[in-house]
Structure 1
Amino acid sequence: MNRILLIEDDIDLAKETSLALGKWGFDVELINNFEMILEEFIDKKPDVVIMDVNLPLYNGFYWCEKIRDISSIPIIFLSSRDSNMDLIMGINNGGDDYITKPFSIDVLVTKLNGIIRRTYKYNTSSTIMYYEDLIFDIEKCAIKYRDKHEELTKNEVRILTNLLKNKDKVVSRESLMMLLWDSDEFVTDNALTVNINRLRGKIKDLGFEDIIKTKKGMGYIIQ
């Protein structure tokens, strides 16, 4: 049974969501002390975090960054705001997905099942991939170039793995969206763009060239 840490200060919504997810076979833990979110995260050891953006004291983006300092566990944001800026902030701060309130429990369950399957059952024949002098450690979710390294989120790992496995071939945006979210029905095109740009930024921060090229109207390629 997969353990979900639900960080939601709307008590009624938290209980309703917890009950619904319980019927789908999830073990849901709720946060009781919003001043000690990081400590409760460490104590409860969840498989996935579902976190509201608007929280007491500090918002969800803040706590996501704190969790990312110690873990690459999947994080799904919930928010009553549907602006592109919130989506961008959520992904840039390390979130793996973003759901706007009010949401369907079926949509949430679909996303949870997909992210759990991809995170904990994602296999590849090798845990190390290379592009010239760039080293990509899939197992450690990190890229390294010379004496520098950058940690990657699960989505960034999947994107880079897929592009390197299809080196010299164009990978369509649609196939990448299916890889990341199973279906493009519940996500925006902008979410993929944010993930791609963040991955490009991390590669650039290492001092390496931009290896992900955009093929307009087609997708992305590494050559």
Structure 2
Amino acid sequence: MSSIMIVEDDPKITQLLQAQLEKYGYRTTIVTEFDEVLDVFQQNKPELVLMDVNLPKFDGFYWCRQIRMLSNCPILFISARESKMDQVMALENGADDYITKPFDYDVVLAKIRSQLRRAYGMYANQEKERTIEVEGLVLYPERMELVRDQQKVELSKKEALLLDLLMSHYPRVVSRERMLEKLWDEQFVDENTLNVYVTRVRAKLKDLSLSGAVETVRGEGYRLKATWGDSHEAIHT
């Protein structure tokens, strides 16, 4: 059966989760030293992580980012913090789902089964890792990494989606409407939010010495300008 790591500083909730999971045959690893979350993860290599937000030392968002640098295993947040911003931050930092306390154990188990099926079971993607390359700039969407000349920057989920669009459509313009649809599905989002993410993507490209790589096309949207190269086509693998 699958192994699950529980990162929760409330002993009572931890014990209840552990008992419920083991009742259904899951193997559990409990984190007790909250400055060693990444060490415990590397030692035990769980197939799924249940993560609280409010933790000693560093919060769950921090540990989620650290795990994402090593693994794409499902991470589910379980937290008493109910604000939309907390849920957005969890997803932005690499989480797969967010469950608010108090929670129903049957719902938690159903979400765990669903994530495990997607990651490892019948719904898992068995194809090789997808990459997009434009003039030596390589995006790894699943890893949320951008690489150029052996330099690497980490991306949030939204930043990776935005770059996926720009690089896939290179050298064409991507409309603001298409970006809003891709990044936020059918949710209503102020267009200023998109501006914030475009600014963040520009900053990440600047970290790779690519200033001015995202051009604003007034009244239309944005496009990638690969002025550091000569080709006019994105390479997908």
The verdict on a shared fold, with TM-score over 0.5 as the criterion, is yes
Is the partner of 1:98 in helix, strand or coil? strand
CA drift at 1:100: 0.4
Normalised to the residue count of structure 2, the TM-score between the two structures is: 0.61
Q: 1:138 to 1:23 in 2, by over 3 A?
A: same
Corresponding residue of 1:8 = 8
**Total equivalences in the alignment:** 209
- 2:126 is aligned with 1:123: yes
Distance 2:114 2:163 in 1: 19
Alignment of 1:80-159 (within 5 A): 80-120=80-120, 121-124=124-127, 127-130=130-133, 135-137=138-140, 142-144=145-147, 149-151=152-154
Corresponding residue of 2:17 = 17
CA drift at 1:13: 1.3
Corresponding residue of 2:35 = 35
Unaligned segments of structure 1, at least 5 residues: 179-183, 212-221
C-alpha distance after superposition, 1:91-122 (max 9, x if no partner):
23332221100112222222222222333322
Corresponding residue of 2:48 = 48
Root-mean-square deviation (CA, aligned residues, Å) is: 4.5
Q: 1:203 to 1:77 in 2, by over 3 A?
A: farther
8 Å CA contact 1:79, 1:101 repeated in 2? yes
Larger Rg: 2
Is the partner of 2:41 in helix, strand or coil? helix
CA drift at 1:51: 1.0
C-alpha distance after superposition, 1:118-147 (max 9, x if no partner):
333223367334568753446755344566
8 Å CA contact 2:93, 2:157 repeated in 1? no
Normalised to the residue count of structure 1, the TM-score between the two structures is: 0.64
C-alpha distance after superposition, 1:66-110 (max 9, x if no partner):
333443433211111101121122223332221100112222222
8 Å CA contact 1:72, 1:154 repeated in 2? no
Q: 1:138 to 1:91 in 2, by over 3 A?
A: closer
Q: 1:124 to 1:176 in 2, by over 3 A?
A: farther
Q: Percent identity?
A: 33
8 Å CA contact 1:119, 1:154 repeated in 2? no
Q: 1:57 to 1:153 in 2, by over 3 A?
A: closer
Unaligned segments of structure 2, at least 5 residues: 216-222, 224-237
- 2:208 is aligned with 1:205: no
